[in-house]
Chain A
Amino acid sequence: MNTYLQFAAIKFRNNMAYRFEYVMGILSTLLSFVVYWSIYRALYGTEEVVDGVTFSMVATNFIISLGLNNAFAKNEMFLQDKIKQGTIANELLKPVNFKLRMLFEDFGEGLFRVIFNFLPTVIIAMFFAELQAPSGTLNMMLCIISAILGYIVLWLISFIVQSWSFWLFSVWGLITIKNVFVNILAGAFIPMWFMPAWLRDFIKFTPFDSIYFTPVQIYLGELNGYEIVINFARQIFWILILYALSELFWRRGIKKLVVQGG
């Protein structure tokens, strides 16, 4: 385990080198937030509450889901590049679990961006947007745990799509299409509350609402104890299902892998 934490720590430190990049990253996240904040400000008009959802809940939802969405973005061409260049052969020889190592490296990078991109964005946004405070210390901690579970759901979906590199010329298109589904169905581009009923009913059967919407609801104090347990159970259920799928694709892929030269 210690080995894998080291991988995460290395990635975390590597990111510190690119200071200018991360200033630009904060700006980019902030501007995306301003776009959606302005859209919903205009949609709300003079209203403060629509269907029991206050404008500050919408703003908070966007800063969490859009902010985490940007913070969790990573190089999704990683596996394809390794396979195309054949360097995956060297990786497989190392006495570490490649998938687990990839997860921890990405997690290190994600953690870096949560601290140095997401948090500064939230702090700046507090000056002009009416964000809600967390609904309590316990809820804040549960929110962080569910955000980590959400990250794993997101990571596994990404890994499954990336593992198609074993069979396809390029997975860029599939990854982009996957991201559209995540952006919309996980509620980064439109708050879950305002989706049409049929779409919400559909999303209930998918892993997408466990990514950002569960942490958002816990943060806002929308869920009671029983509902929180159910939501955690759903997140873990999806992690198990997606993990099984990712193992399936990974093992098939490795069997199929032929590296030219070396």
Chain B
Amino acid sequence: MKDTISLFFAYAKLGLKTRFQYKVDTIVTSFAVFFRESAGIIAMYLALLKFDTINNWNIDELIFLFSLIFITYGIFIVFFMALRDFSDWIKHGDFDRVMLRPRGLLTQLLLCGADWMAAFGHGTLGVLLFLFSANRVGIEWNFATALYYIVIVISGVLIQGAIFLIFSSISIYVVETQSLKELFYWNMRKFAIYPLSIYNKFIQSILIFVIPFAFVNYFPAQFFLRKDDMSAYPEFFMYLSPIVGTVLYVIAYAFWKFSLRYYKSTGN
């Protein structure tokens, strides 16, 4: 374990050093990611100057909801970048290299590199949104609520990690999974940012049961905010995120282990 942690730091140091060869570019790119991701929030902020609330959520509550998506993605991308780009690893034969090393395959993939600019961009945005909204939405912060917040952030990272672990396993069979990721992750994420209750039932079901983004931000946020649109869903959904995260990750991991047996190198 201690060995694994030091391996992570060694990789992180290497990655950051490489990136900071181009200091200005790294800072500008991180800021650009930050700004790009803020665009939807700025648009929402401007719209709410006119309309005040959306399904009874005011701007502070929305910002609290947004913060979860960005914080979890910021952490997610530190560990799961290799899985995000896994089809490239297979295509270029980089995965063969990983197989030759004396460490677990997934361990290496998780530790070996981070998209630091995405991590800074999303992470900073998430933290700022959280700091801005945490004391404005009537949450009583104590040890228990703070602990639950940490638990749901980890759950959110696990849910998104599991989704990408599944995509990566599929890459083992079909190599190219770009469109799959586009459809089931990036497009779904567009929806997930806003309160679930604004969508029609079909889209809601997808976000709850198929790509469970609702458990990354909407239901956990409801635990803290208790908005009345929660009445449309079973109350226990508010507590379900840690279970969804763990179960989904275990399933994804089993699928990954199973798929590895079928791995064939693409050659060269």
Contacts and interface: CB of A to CB of B under 8 A. Distances in A.
Interface of A: 20-21, 24, 27-28, 31-32, 34-35, 38-39, 41-43, 50-51, 168-170, 172-174, 176-177, 179-180, 183-184, 189-190, 194-196, 199
B49 A196 contact: yes
A176 B179 CA distance: 22
B1 to A, nearest CB: 38
Contacts of A177: 31-32, 35-36
A20 to B, nearest CB: 7
Nearest to B187: A31
Nearest to B199: A38
Contacts of B25: 168-170, 173
A180 B39 contact: yes
B29 interface: yes
B50 to A, nearest CB: 5
Nearest to A189: B43
Nearest to A183: B39
A237 B55 CA distance: 42
Contacts of B44: 39
Given A42-B54, A170-B29, A196-B49, A35 B35 contact: no
Given A39-B54, A42-B55, A180-B38, A190 B203 contact: no
A200 to B, nearest CB: 11
9 contacts: A27-B183, A31-B187, A43-B54, A51-B50, A170-B29, A172-B32, A177-B35, A183-B39, A190-B47
Nearest to B45: A190
Interface stretch (B80-88, B126-134, B190-198, B235-243): B190-198
B150 to A, nearest CB: 29
Given A39-B54, A173-B31, A27 B187 contact: yes
Contact of B43 (A27, A174, A190, A196): A190
B14 interface: no
A177 B38 CA distance: 11
A176 B35 contact: yes
A181 to B, nearest CB: 9
B93 interface: no
Contact of B179 (A24, A34, A168, A195): A24
